[in-house]
Amino acid sequence: MLNIGEFARLGQVSPRMLRHYDEIGLLRPEQVDAASGYRFYSARQLARLHRLLALRDLGFTLEQVRPLLDHEPPVEELRGMLRLRQAQIAQDVAEDQARLRRVDAHLRALEGSVAMSSLDVAVKNTEPVRIAEANGEAAGFGHDNLGPVFERLVPVVLGHLGAAGVRPATMVAWYEEPADDGRVVAHVGFDVGEQDVDEGGGVRVVALPSITVASVVHRGDMEGVVAVYEALVRWVEDSGYELAGRSRELYHEWNDERPELSVTELQVPVQPVAERS
């Protein structure tokens, strides 16, 4: 008979681990001294320990291991379990590789010239949102081009909602694909939830679906937002994603008097590059 220390050395495990296997009924000692409580194992139990360790090394849980210790499974059953485990490991590897690309993207973003913390970037699914909006054309992106369009459209939408007794929530903007000459149509509106809103006067109601986006929170005025967008797009490309639709902006806090206190969430729709059709 082998005491717990000797058996642990043979099996290359710790005595603590053997005690744990005993407590959960996976590998009980051959004998337990009634007076001292010392555990003793036989050499033939080494085969059971080896099987347990081999299955754990393959990533099987203790509950999955238990029945395989108590009987010899048919070859087909064992083959099926191993193929399932193989698929799970392959999925884990793919997820880890994608995570590694995102870590690399964070590092490159930190080395960029734009003061955007890469750790602020999150890939998430948006909630569906119902928007009362108006649209207008700008000469291009950038605060100087879009600012006047916002100044014209926001009062139109707010006036329409106020006349209808509708309480607006978060302000939202999104953009169509720019024309060859750089002109872009901007859509500006407010989340109205399930409130009834009649269309008219240049205002319409649209439902924006749930989408997967790469999102970053921009704090401050909109003067430098184009550079932040460019950095976000680079992060998307470095992270193994590609752009998959029109960008959105959510104005969580808007402060005309102190623009530096404004909080805007920039969202760009994305999908893994592997999904490219």
pLDDT at 109: 66
pLDDT at 51: 87
- pLDDT tier at 114 (50, 70, 90 boundaries)? low
Q: CA nearest 209: which of 246, 181, 262? A: 246
- Phi (first) and psi of residue 85, to 5 degrees: -65, -35
Between 190 and 122, name the one with better pLDDT: 190
Tally of CB atoms within 10 A around 202: 13
Assigned token pair, 194? 């399930």
The residue-averaged pLDDT of 165-178 equals 92
The residue-averaged pLDDT of 139-144 equals 85
Between 195 and 218, name the one with better pLDDT: 195
pLDDT tens per residue across span 36-92: 999 999 988 998 899 899 888 888 888 888 888 888 778 888 888 889 888 988 888
Q: Which residues contact 149 (CB under 8 A, 6 or more apart)?
A: 136, 137, 138, 186, 188
Average pLDDT of the chain is 87
What is the spatial distance between Cα 43 and Cα 139, in angstroms, rounded to a whole number? Answer: 83
